[in-house]
């Protein structure tokens, strides 16, 4: 089964989508990647979901990517004697390390790392920014604040500190346990939360030891400022607009989204746009017009993937949400304006031989009667470079490695096919012609472009391009 759109769809699994039949229905509706949220569920539950996905993958005969999303450190206030209190604008309120239940004058903030980073004037956001505090004075174990936006504050509400880089690792002890569990389970991607600096990504990379690709979630102002250096050490990016919209002014999120997407595209690394894309479909079978426009915007920007969270994990209409996203993608990508925008935003990258090869492949495919660009790849680099070009024709990513095929399920336009290992380029051309015909991309009378790196099995050696017929007899005859 082939998709009739280029952007990929990530669907989060949860109580509404935890059985194999629903997971298969989600895939058939358009899901390419399944997200396992490590913030919810036991390891036993996560393992069961992983098993269901792999069972569906075996039944349909197509690679499916699995993304495990690590929780990251959670900063929360303590508890109140009366469960909740009301804070009024202008009043004083203290945060401290005392474990005594709070009242309307103070509450515990059991994170000495936060106090170490605070200074007068720092803003503190509580309960997703619904309550805002300004630090007036602080020390190693307290912060005296003024309430700038009041409201009801209750037990264990989350705290955001947007103005400073916190001396906290992106990986909590829970995250380290979850990371090792997910890697042993065999997930394809790990999403890293609370990234503030490139060192956070490097720490996770050392722990994964190449067992999974690392996707950095950009959800903090510090990560936006350090984006280029974080991108350089990451395998992919998620524009996590939830916390980003809390810690940054809401009006700043759309331009930030555009910058992050374009940066990842230029680096040939997949980028996901996430959070509240079809939020109303948690309870409604139809999305709002604004939500449809939001999804369309991410597609017009050239993002590699759009993501569903609670819509598919806990909503009443998980399959309908995926199908809606799929239909929006097909409609947008069929719009002539889409191609105009994609091509206007393409950055020419021709610093290396590989850059020149993939650029030539796109130009040849778009100016002649070529049906597909077929990339023979070991690590996925060749397919990622071709996808960076955002060609008009389909991309077939052929690889003998199951892990590479699965990871490429997150890459824009990549139709992944697992093939036998090849030692010579002729074998790769024959495999490409066969895959193009069998998967419905070309007829025997058509032509394809084949790219690869020779010698095979060496990463980053994309150096050869051939226009080939899909008739295997013609390929064999030309090599005689």
Buried b / exposed e over 423-445, threshold 16 CB at 10 Å, is eebeebbbbbbebbbebebbeee
Instruction: Retrieve residue 42's tokens.
Output: 């036991």
76 is catalytic: yes
> Which one from 20, 54, 76, 259 is the annotated catalytic residue?
76
C-beta of residue 245 within 8 angstroms of C-beta of residue 213: no
Euclidean distance between CA atoms 362 and 267, whole angstroms: 17
Between CA 376 and CA 425 the distance in angstroms is: 9
Q: Is 152 a catalytic residue?
A: no
- Whether 35 is a known active-site residue: answer yes
Out of 217, 371, 388, 466, pick the active-site residue. 217
Cα dihedral 347, 353, 356, 357 in deg (nearest 10): -120
User: Is 351 known to be catalytic?
Assistant: no
Task: Give me the residue label for tokens 């940054």.
Answer: 248
Q: At what angle do helices 381-388 and 353-367 cross, to 10 degrees?
A: 50
Contact predicate 242/250, CB 8 Å:
no
Half-sphere exposure of 13 (CA within 13 A, CB side): 32
User: Are 431 and 410 contacting, i.e. CB atoms less than 8 angstroms apart?
Assistant: no
The 3-state DSSP class for residue 190 equals strand
- 198-208 vs 173-185: helix crossing angle, rounded to 10: 50
Angle of CA points 376, 378, 380, to nearest 5°: 85
Q: Which of 12, 275, 324, 404 is catalytic?
A: 275
Classify 400 as helix, strand or coil: coil
**Positions marked active-site:** 35, 76, 217, 275
């Amino acid at each position: 089964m082939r998709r009739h759109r280029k952007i990929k769809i990530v669907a989060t699994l949860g109580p509404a989508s935890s059985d194999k039949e629903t997971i298969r229905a989600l895939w058939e509706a358009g899901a390419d990647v399944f997200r396992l949220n490590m913030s919810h569920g036991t390891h036993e539950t996560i393992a069961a979901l992983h098993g269901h996905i792999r069972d569906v993958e075996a039944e349909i005969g197509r690679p499916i990517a699995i993304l495990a999303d690590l929780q990251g450190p959670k900063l929360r206030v303590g508890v109140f004697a009366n469960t909740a209190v009301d804070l009024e604008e202008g009043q004083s309120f203290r945060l401290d390390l005392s474990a005594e239940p709070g009242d309307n004058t103070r509450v515990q903030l059991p994170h000495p790392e936060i106090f170490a980073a605070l200074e007068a004037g720092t803003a503190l956001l509580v309960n997703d920014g619904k309550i805002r505090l300004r630090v007036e004075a602080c020390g190693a174990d307290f912060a005296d604040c003024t309430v700038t936006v009041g409201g009801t504050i209750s037990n264990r509400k989350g705290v955001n500190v947007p103005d400073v880089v916190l001396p906290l690792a992106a990986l909590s002890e829970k995250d380290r346990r979850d990371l090792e569990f997910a890697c042993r389970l065999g997930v394809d991607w790990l999403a890293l939360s609370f990234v503030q600096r490139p060192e956070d990504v490097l720490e996770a990379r050392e722990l994964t030891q190449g067992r999974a690709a690392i996707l950095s979630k950009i959800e903090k102002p510090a990560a936006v400022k350090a984006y280029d250096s974080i991108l350089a050490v990451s395998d992919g990016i998620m524009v996590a607009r939830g916390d980003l919209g809390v810690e940054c002014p809401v009006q700043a999120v759309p331009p930030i989204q555009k910058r992050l997407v374009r940066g990842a595209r230029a680096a040939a690394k997949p980028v996901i746009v996430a959070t509240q894309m079809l939020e109303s479909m948690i309870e409604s079978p139809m999305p709002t017009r604004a939500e449809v426009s939001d999804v369309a915007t991410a597609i017009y920007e050239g993002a590699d993937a759009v993501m569903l969270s609670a819509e598919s994990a806990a909503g009443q209409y998980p399959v309908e949400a995926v199908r809606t996203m799929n239909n929006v993608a097909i409609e947008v990508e069929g719009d002539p304006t889409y191609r105009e925008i994609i091509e206007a935003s393409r950055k020419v990258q021709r610093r290396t031989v590989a850059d020149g090869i993939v650029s030539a492949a796109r130009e040849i495919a778009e100016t002649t009667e070529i049906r597909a660009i077929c990339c023979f790849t070991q690590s996925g680099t060749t397919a990622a470079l071709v996808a960076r070009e955002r060609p008009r024709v389909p991309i077939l990513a052929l690889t003998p490695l199951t892990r590479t095929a699965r990871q490429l399920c997150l890459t824009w336009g990549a139709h992944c096919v697992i093939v036998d290992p090849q030692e010579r380029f002729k074998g790769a051309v024959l495999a490409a012609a066969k895959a193009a015909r069998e998967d419905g991309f070309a007829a025997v009378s058509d032509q394809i472009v084949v790219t690869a790196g020779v010698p095979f099995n060496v990463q980053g050696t994309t150096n050869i391009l051939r226009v080939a017929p899909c008739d295997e007899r013609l390929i064999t005859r030309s090599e005689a």
